[in-house]
Chain A
Amino acid sequence: MADATASLRRKLWNPEARLAYVLIAPTAIFLVAFMFYPILYVFVMSFFRTNKLSDLVRFVGLANFIDRFHDQEFWWAALRSLIWTGSGVAVKFLVGMTIAVLLNVNYRGRKAARMAFIIPWASSVPISALLWQWVYHPEFGLLNHTLKISGLWTNPPGWLGAGFSAFVACMWVDIWVGIPFFALVFLAGMQAIPHELYESAHMDGAGGIRSFFSITLAGLRELILISTLLSAIWTFNDFNVIFILTRAGPANSTNILITSVYMNAFVDLRFDWAAVQSVITFLILTVVSVVYARFYFRQENI
């Protein structure tokens, strides 16, 4: 018994472990104060009625959750989040993959093209969103003007002014930011696939499309999984684009889960509702990130 405790002590408290704790302590303290404690507090808050200053007034159990579940707007926001994330990631993936394939072809100016493709990702999202606001301007914006004079779309919508088109317009900006990530990751993955594989497939009479599916996509499998999960989380979390372009309007039509947290709190001053939305969003994110972490560790082998 004494031996067991002594060996446990040695395991937890030897010079090497001690040094590790000292090195990690500053980060840990900051994380506890500004991340773990706030999460805990949000959980606590979700069981209380709050006043307009976000003070806890009285314990109400699950009443806030029941309130939210009875509110149609909550379900609409959840549905929008689902569509926003699902179709957003799908488009990012497809366009990103296309760009990666294009950049994997050898031609002069490929490096320059690669650099140009990165710009939407490299730019500051809030600033890009502001630029898009001007691009989308119904009367003086160059998007609709260009669509009209080129004959591509003679009667384009007013974009941010109406519900559905605003949702599409916001989604496009989020997609636009997220495309280069996929393109770069896939390109890097493609360049790691040995060239001999393609040559021998070619000898065996496999066409370009066949080798794309059986060599390229097969070789990228792990990468596709990891990058898709990562992109899904980012897309789901995109607050800036929506807030800057429409402030979740008009009439809530661009309100998704993540923006409704902010709107509940700082516009409606319903901090308890915001806490409920935070808790739900947190749980969703946790599930996805556990999956991500598992896949990451599996391929990294640590």
Chain B
Amino acid sequence: MRWQNRARWLAIPLTVVILLVLLFPFFVMISTMLKTGKDVYTSPPIWIPTHIEWSNFAAVWTQYDLASYFLASLIIALGATVLNTLLCVPAAYAIARLRFPGRKVSMYLLLMIEMFSPVIVIISLFKVVARFGLLDSYVALIVLDALFTVAFNTWMMNGYFRTIPKDIEEAAMIDGCTRVQTMTRIMLPIAVPGLVTVMIYAFIFAWNEFLFALTFISSKAKMPLTIALYNFVGRWTTQWQYLTMAAFLALIPVLILFYIIEKRLVAGLAGGAVKG
């Protein structure tokens, strides 16, 4: 195993260098978020603050209303998650288990919708949303965020249902369960890991969503985190110590959630060649 040792000698330093480069903005974030305003705007800039300003943590909640933006993001993301799950689970079951004309076409469509950019339809969505009287409402964002992950999540869920052996279902039906009963009592409990994955994915998507919120939300009280932080930049001199602190806090939930689903996400995206 000499080559293994040699490889290690090369791999570890290279890994460290690439990580230093890739994590650079996060080092900057951590360096800035506890600085005083004076340290943020010194030229030349400094990495280590002269004074650690712990009060920045409190300031983003008290002076900048971070709680209100967190709440908005949470309402939108939870709403989108619930709606998305209600839509994609039954559809995925149908595609995975039932024979019906148009099944193949719908699978193709799903895979193609997944590639779809919301930017392309933003101008007509604006009209649709206005027509329904949903401008500047959570409902618009909940519906759109849920919808733009529904294809991928139906696809993922379909993959899960497919891995469950058909015998289990058939046995239940022989025992007198109806289709719907086998679906809710047998299939769903087994597919819980898949369910968790699609729910988290829907949540993350909505939490990070920018374009719809930018286009459809105008009142400050309903702004989610992404838009609130975006609007925070560029007015006079940005107080980057607060912005980086808020960014840090906004990133924590998505990072944790992403780690839970990361492996299954990769498998879902890359198809059969990768096992989840």
Contacts and interface: CB of A to CB of B under 8 A. Distances in A.
B75 interface: no
Contact of B99 (A16, A149, A281, A300): A16
A253 interface: no
A192 to B, nearest CB: 7
A22 to B, nearest CB: 8
Contacts of A293: 108, 111-112
B3 interface: yes
A302 B147 contact: no
Q: Please classify the interface of chain B as helix (H, G, I), strand (E, B), loop, or mixed, using the class held by over half of its residues.
A: helix
Given A35-B147, A124-B207, A230-B269, A19 B123 contact: no
Contacts of B88: 27
A265 B130 CA distance: 16
Contact of B259 (A23, A37, A115, A125): A115
B160 interface: no
**Interface SS majority for chain A:** helix
A54 B101 CA distance: 39
A288 to B, nearest CB: 7
B8 A134 contact: no
A1 interface: no
Interface size of B as a range: 35 or more
Interface in A245-288: 258-259, 261-262, 265-266, 271, 274-275, 278, 281-282, 285-286, 288
Contact of A19 (B15, B94, B208, B240): B94
Contacts of A139: 43
Contact of B111 (A23, A184, A227, A289): A289
A37 B128 contact: yes
Interface of A: 11-12, 16-17, 19-21, 23-24, 26-28, 30-31, 33-35, 37-39, 41-42, 45, 54, 95, 98-99, 102-103, 105-107, 109, 113, 115-128, 130-135, 139-143, 145-146, 148-149, 176, 179, 181, 184-185, 188-189, 192, 208, 222-223, 226-227, 230, 233, 237, 239-240, 243-244, 258-259, 261-262, 265-266, 271, 274-275, 278, 281-282, 285-286, 288-290, 292-293, 296-297, 299-302
A244 B231 CA distance: 10
Interface string B246-276: 0100110011001100110011011111110
5 contacts: A20-B100, A142-B27, A233-B115, A258-B117, A299-B271
Contacts of B4: 105-106
Contact of B273 (A122, A230, A278, A299): A299
A167 to B, nearest CB: 19
Contacts of B43: 139-140
Contacts of A120: 22
Given A192-B273, A223-B274, A113 B15 contact: yes
Nearest to A37: B128
Most buried by B among A39, A124, A143, A288: A124
A26 B92 CA distance: 12
A126 B273 contact: no
A279 B45 CA distance: 46
A16 B101 CA distance: 10
Given A42-B123, A124-B207, A285 B116 contact: yes
